[in-house]
Structure 1
Amino acid sequence: MFVEQRIVTLFKRNAHHTLTYWSVFFSFGLCIAFLGPTILDLKCQTNSTLSQITWVFFSQQFCLLIGSTVGGIFKRTLFSALSALFVSALFISVIFAIIPLCNNVLVLAIAMAVSGLAMGIIDTIANIQLVTIYQKDSAVFLQALHFFIGFGALVSPLIADPFLSEHGCGNHTENGTEMMHHFRNLLRNSPIAAQNINQSHLPHGGGEEESIVHYAFWIMALINLPVPIIVLFLMYREQLIPCCPRSTPRLLDKDELAMENQQGAEGTEVEQAAHEGGGHGDIFSCCQNDNLRGLPVSFFMIHILGGMVLFMTDGIVGAYAGFVYAYAVAPPISLSHKTAGYLPSIFWAAITAGRLLSIPLTYRFPVVRLLMFNLVGAIVTVLLLLILYTSSTFLFVGTGLCGFFLSSIFPCMLAYTEDILSYQGCATTILVTSAGMGEMVMQVLVGSIIQTEGSYSFLLCGVIIACIGLMVFIGLFFFARMHTNYLTAGTTKKSAMVEEETPEQNGSAKVEPEKEAGKS
């Protein structure tokens, strides 16, 4: 068979949980890419400037980072994890429903911040729960999880486009329409990029058309509404709803069941790692002295370097998706606005296809090889884009290749680091937080460099960031080998101690019968 029967059995045993987390991440993907295309309509709705609306979206990204950081708090029990998912998914639907009613930019900023906090909590909890359930087999299921967020991000513009006003607050002129398409395609993929636009270029004047974007938000709220219902149904099946009577004892938690499956092969190592690592939790609980005492340097470096790799690679994803349109319409390529508008869609489509293809590849090949292949492939692709910077044809090809190579780095890195740390450390929370921070910081950094140095610096920044990511990953690989040797030496030492104690016990057991025989 293409997939081992053991994997199929494990999936069937945890199918309800896994499908619930996948559906939550599809909704997360819809939400994370849905707001960008509506930024100009929200500007008109709140009678605010483009700069003010940009900071509204920045508040959402910042709170998403906070939610990713504190999301590990809710993993302590299955009840708290599912309850947090239910509340967060419900809040997202409510926020999307009330966004059309926010006529003040400050109220809109608060609503966006709450939705970002909810999405950050979902991001961390879903990743942690899948890692806890499948442990050494989690790479395949993490690839599928992140395929759904890519698929959601690809589908979301299709939902928004029919309801976007063609002229916004401006004139109904041909030039105004073309300029509005220009800004919408740019802002669809990077709210931060709005800071680089001179507001004097926006068309102003009479002839406003009534916006119908509120229908898009309400449809989005309805599409997202089944997600909290699915989570609530899972809580009902697990008998975690307090108001429902419990006629039979609640089933074992999925993380307990996964722990039992792993104990057959390496129970002693897992228990020792659990004692040392302190378990998955928020970053602050991971930094307590009791959890850090006696751990080797390699343990800390794996967390730090793994987070740095995702800081760089997810930063490239955010920056490329945000500024590839602006790069394409500028000299020397100077594509038309309509043609350049396909580039972000190609990039997200390549990410989605790459994550889909990575599901069987992760099953067949070690994740460390896939990580090295993807990092080298991303460097080569961006370097070729830099060399062939005048070729519009290769810009489309390179955009697809870049999205393909970057697509599976995050789930592979998650599975790789958790495997090294025996699935008991704080790697998931730290990696998710680092990835979100990198996407936020790199967008601002690359955008400011493009504004001062020109569009050519866009690809140069990509090459530098990708090379730094590869060097950091090589360092991570070195410390991973060091940590594996440390765990192996500890296990060998314990086995030797057990072997020394066993003959002594056997000898004392033989002496006792001899004494008894002498007495008799």
Structure 2
Amino acid sequence: MSGHIGTLMNTAKKTTIGYYLSYIALGLSAAMMGPTLPGLADQTNTQISQIGVLFTARSIGFLFMTLWVGRLYDRVPGHRLLTLALFGLTLTMALMPTAPNLWVLTAVLFLMGMSHAGVDIGGNTLIVWLHGRAVGPYMNGMHFFFGVGSFLAPIIVAQVISVTEGMQWAFWILALLMLPAVFYVLNRPSPTMPEAAQEAASGAVNWSVIFLIAIFFFIYSGTEIAYGGWIYSYAIATEAGTVSTAAYLNSVFWGALTIGRLISIPIATRLRARVILFIDLAGCLASIALILLIPHSTITVWLGTIGLGLFMASIFPTTLTLAERNTTVSGSVTSYFFIGASLGAMSLPWLFGRQLDQNGPQAIMVLVFACLVLEFIVYSLLMHQIQREKIQAPSV
């Protein structure tokens, strides 16, 4: 019996490696946008204010896939879908520098968004099925490897551009780095859907908690993507960095996310999810407040960016862990969470870009602070709802 349990644990760990590789690929695709936006604008003969439509296209693709891919994960062996999504991510990355105009590039980003959703929803659903209530540190670990990819992408882009004086090879190198995940996941058995998740897929879910978490993800994902995408342009507009150093500021943000997620792995085994979320949100507010209070200081921009990355790091995986503890997670339920996230990632970066163009770079930080305040309010409502349902549970 003990030998069988040991074999299952060993299989689970090997499968988890595949999810970690998938999230490195996901991070590479997510973080390459910021430092490549000016180059993509030149490639397509487009104004920088118009190029922000790429965020929207990727998010619409993400949303479109999110509407139905969760149901597919409930019905089809998960690794088949995950492998297909990873291949799509690799292919669209390779196609980006070949797009001759904004319309073609927008279509490529739409397809990339679809692939992104397949990997994101698949990874978050399958790892919960694989580890159950012990998912906390594994979930944080998976999102840590997203940070690894996000940290490496701007550095790779900056280094390749400095050597080749062009972006083409940067995209192709990133695409090559995604291939190991494709082949690894393809050769691993898919985890089975737990019985409780099957019940959730058939309709037995806690809708109030799911709705509040979806709203929470709307604000969080939109703010994270907007900050990671526009901090490069903000730094240049405020003269907080040159073209090259601004790319490194972008990388520092994703690097701080990476370090924060690494730190959060042991923390997730010691603190309750609600406590971690409170600390994270308070730290995010303090980091942006620092930049707002001393707006023209290069040092505060760097310190605030590092702080924001560190405290944002564990919000997403910790909220998913909180969801696992307070409702049943199926592919369909995960889709609802990511519908909220994709709507935020679609609308908020576009809004930030418009405000940057119309009202100047400082509007970016004001919007980030406002979003974080709103997120704190939603967090409070979520905690109240969870506590209320726990009190009512014995009488049901």
TM-score class normalised by the smaller sequence: 0.7 to 0.9
**Which letter maps to 1:94?**
L
**Whole-angstrom distance in 2 between the partners of 1:307 and 1:443:** 18
Using the TM superposition, give the Cα deviation of residue 306 of structure 1 relative to its aligned residue in structure 2, in angstroms: 1.0
Alignment partner, residue 278 of structure 1 = 201
**Whole-angstrom distance in 2 between the partners of 1:154 and 1:114:** 23
Aligned to 1:76, which of 74, 77, 85?
Answer: 74
**Whole-angstrom distance in 2 between the partners of 1:469 and 1:436:** 16
Aligned to 1:65, which of 44, 50, 63?
Answer: 63
**Which letter maps to 2:268?**
T
CA spacing shift, 1:11–1:313, aligned 2, 3 Å:
farther
Alignment partner, residue 227 of structure 1 = 181
SS at match of 2:361: coil
Conserved? CA contact 2:59–2:345, under 8 Å: no
Using the TM superposition, give the Cα deviation of residue 25 of structure 1 relative to its aligned residue in structure 2, in angstroms: 1.1
SS at match of 1:335: coil
**Which letter maps to 2:168?**
H
Aligned pairs for 1:36-435 within 5 A: 36-46=34-44, 53-56=51-54, 58-77=56-75, 79=77, 81-164=78-161, 212-235=166-189, 253-256=191-194, 270=196, 275=199, 277-278=200-201, 291=203, 299-330=206-237, 334-337=239-242, 339-423=245-329, 426-435=332-341
Q: Normalising to structure 1: TM-score of the pair?
A: 0.68
Consecutive unaligned residues of structure 2, counting only runs of 5 or more, are none
Alignment partner, residue 265 of structure 1 = none
**Whole-angstrom distance in 2 between the partners of 1:9 and 1:482:** 41
Using the TM superposition, give the Cα deviation of residue 50 of structure 1 relative to its aligned residue in structure 2, in angstroms: 5.1
Conserved? CA contact 2:288–2:369, under 8 Å: yes
Using the TM superposition, give the Cα deviation of residue 212 of structure 1 relative to its aligned residue in structure 2, in angstroms: 4.9
Conserved? CA contact 1:385–1:459, under 8 Å: yes
Aligned to 2:355, which of 449, 455, 469?
Answer: 449
CA shift digits 1:262-312 (9 cap, x unpaired)? xxxxxxxx5xx854x335xxxxxxxxxxx27xx7xxx32211211122222
Using the TM superposition, give the Cα deviation of residue 327 of structure 1 relative to its aligned residue in structure 2, in angstroms: 3.9
Conserved? CA contact 1:41–1:165, under 8 Å: no
RMSD, matched Cα:
2.9
Percent identical pairs in the alignment equals 26
SS at match of 2:100: coil
Conserved? CA contact 2:215–2:378, under 8 Å: yes
Specify which structure has the higher proportion of helix: 2
CA spacing shift, 1:400–1:49, aligned 2, 3 Å:
closer
Say which one has the larger Rg: 1
Conserved? CA contact 1:420–1:484, under 8 Å: no
**Whole-angstrom distance in 2 between the partners of 1:449 and 1:45:** 24
**Which letter maps to 2:201?**
G
**Whole-angstrom distance in 1 between the partners of 2:253 and 2:165:** 29
Conserved? CA contact 2:25–2:146, under 8 Å: yes
CA spacing shift, 1:8–1:417, aligned 2, 3 Å:
farther
**Whole-angstrom distance in 2 between the partners of 1:369 and 1:426:** 27
**Which letter maps to 1:71?**
V
Using the TM superposition, give the Cα deviation of residue 358 of structure 1 relative to its aligned residue in structure 2, in angstroms: 0.3
**Whole-angstrom distance in 1 between the partners of 2:92 and 2:245:** 34
**Which letter maps to 1:222?**
L
CA spacing shift, 1:100–1:423, aligned 2, 3 Å:
closer
Alignment partner, residue 366 of structure 2 = 460
Q: Normalising to structure 2: TM-score of the pair?
A: 0.87
Consecutive unaligned residues of structure 1, counting only runs of 5 or more, are 1-6, 167-209, 239-252, 260-269, 280-290, 491-520
CA spacing shift, 1:340–1:406, aligned 2, 3 Å:
same
Using the TM superposition, give the Cα deviation of residue 11 of structure 1 relative to its aligned residue in structure 2, in angstroms: 4.7
**Whole-angstrom distance in 2 between the partners of 1:104 and 1:386:** 37
Using the TM superposition, give the Cα deviation of residue 58 of structure 1 relative to its aligned residue in structure 2, in angstroms: 3.3
**Whole-angstrom distance in 2 between the partners of 1:381 and 1:51:** 27
> Which is worse superposed, 393-402 or 418-427?
418-427
Using the TM superposition, give the Cα deviation of residue 29 of structure 1 relative to its aligned residue in structure 2, in angstroms: 1.0
